[in-house]
Amino acid sequence: MSHQTVIAGMTPPSRAVRALKGLVLAALCAVVVVPFLGVVATSLAPRKQVVEAGGFVLWPSSVSLDAYEAIFSGGVVSRALVVSLGITVAGTAVALASTITLAYALSRPGSFGSRPMLMIVLASLLFGPGLIPSYLLVQSLGLLDSYWSLVLPVAVNGFNVVVMRSFFMELPQELLDSARIDGAGEMQILLRVVLPLSKAVTAVVGLFYMVGFWNSFFSALLYINDTGKWPLQLVLRTYVVNNTALGTDQISASEALPPQQSIQMAILVVSIVPILLVYPFLQRHFAKGMLTGAVKG
């Protein structure tokens, strides 16, 4: 008998196949990692090396923080970073509260208006509101040039509501009934029973909202006219895409500025780092949360 356990109908791949898979995986990793390393290296490389390399450096000869000093010296990037952090934190909190309460209400059988509301949520996945109607609604509510215009229109996402509703429906009904027998109301059941059992899906949905708020720039481009209220992503887009200055008070002598590519990459690194710092704390919940509802026993 062979010492290898072979699954019925399957044969182990040959060495050539495994080597080919390894090469493909390494190539895909390089496609992701090399540009990111180039962004960080270009932001830290000295002026002379960036100019000689044509604006893209894979490994800096020495570390220079001139690009970071330049983008933070005028206060534009610092203010935009604070704005983005505030919008992300407040927006994620509002969105999670709205999504959790709506999903829980839709998951309870016999809830008033649950069926029509569920149809509305599903319809939002198929039909968008449109750019002009959205702008007119925000304008009619007096939210133009307000940070709430970046939060309230996207506070509830239909896909996230469906994901959380599916998870809530799979919770043991006996557990909820026992809480009701003990005199707990629906809000107490949600806060003390349902949410402690829903950490994985809550972390995943919260990460979706967090990344969405952090990376959003189009809403700010539409609704925020005051440049002092611009989030970091809009500042990044304005500088990189439109190639315009970050602020007239930044540095008066243009020759003192680091190369344009270094400043662009430095802003890009600043916009990426916060998400990279948060993701490891939520990563352990990610796989479990994404598989929620995929398998039923």
Q: CB count, 10 Å around CB of 267?
A: 27
In 3-state terms, what secondary structure has residue 94?
helix
Per-chain mean pLDDT for the chain: 81
Structure tokens at 106: 């839709």
pLDDT at 297: 42
Give the pLDDT band of residue 102 (cuts 50, 70, 90): very high
**Band of residue 170 on the pLDDT scale cut at 50, 70, 90:** confident
From 74-83, 106-115, 278-287, the region with the lowest mean pLDDT: 278-287
* Residues 101, 117: Cα–Cα separation, whole Å: 13
Burial status of residue 92 (CB atoms within 10 A of its CB: 0-12, 13-18, 19 or more): buried
Q: How confident is the model at residue 188 (pLDDT cuts 50, 70, 90)?
A: confident
CA distance linking residue 84 with residue 228, whole number of Å: 12
Report pLDDT for 244.
57
Mean pLDDT value of segment 189-211: 87
Tokens describing residue 93: 């909190």
Percent with pLDDT over 70 in the chain: 85
Of the candidates 106, 105, 120, which has an alpha carbon nearest to the alpha carbon of residue 158? Answer: 120
CA distance 195 to 295: 21
- Which is more confidently placed, 97 or 227? 97
Place of tokens 């208006």: 113
Give the whole-angstrom CA distance, residue 228 versus residue 294.
45
Residues across the chain? 297
**What is the C-alpha separation between 254 and 135, in angstroms, rounded?**
38
Are the C-beta atoms of 121 and 158 separated by less than 8 Å? Answer: yes
Confidence of residue 223 (pLDDT cuts 50, 70, 90): very high
Per-residue confidence band for 67, with pLDDT thresholds at 50, 70 and 90: confident
Rg (CA), the chain: 25
Q: Which residue has the tokens 């450096």?
A: 57
Domain with CATH 1.10.3720.10 in the chain: 69-290
Count the Cβ atoms, other than its own, within 10 Å of residue 34: 11
Angle between helices 232-240 and 76-107 (to 10 degrees): 130
**How many C-beta atoms surround the C-beta of residue 200 within 10 A?**
19
* pLDDT tens track for 273-295: 888 887 777 666 665 555 554 44
Contact status, residue 154 vs residue 138, Cβ threshold 8 Å? no
pLDDT tens digits for range 5-39: 445 556 777 888 888 888 999 999 988 888 888 88
Residues 246/227, Cβ–Cβ less than 8 Å: no
Within a 10 A sphere around the Cβ of 78, how many other Cβ atoms? 14
pLDDT at position 36 is 86
> What are the tokens at 125?
């996945």
Share of the chain above pLDDT 90, in %: 15
**Per-residue pLDDT at 213:** 92
- Quick: pLDDT tens for 146-168: 999 999 988 899 899 998 998 88
CATH topology classification for 69-290: MetI-like fold (1.10.3720)
Residue 260 has pLDDT above 70, yes or no: yes
In which band, very low, low, confident or very high, does the pLDDT at 254 lie, cut at 50, 70 and 90? very low
Give the whole-angstrom CA distance, residue 192 versus residue 76.
43
* Lowest-confidence pick of 71-85, 117-131, 197-211, 274-288: 274-288
Tokens standing for residue 130 = 């449109």
Instruction: Give the position of tokens 């996230």.
Output: 160
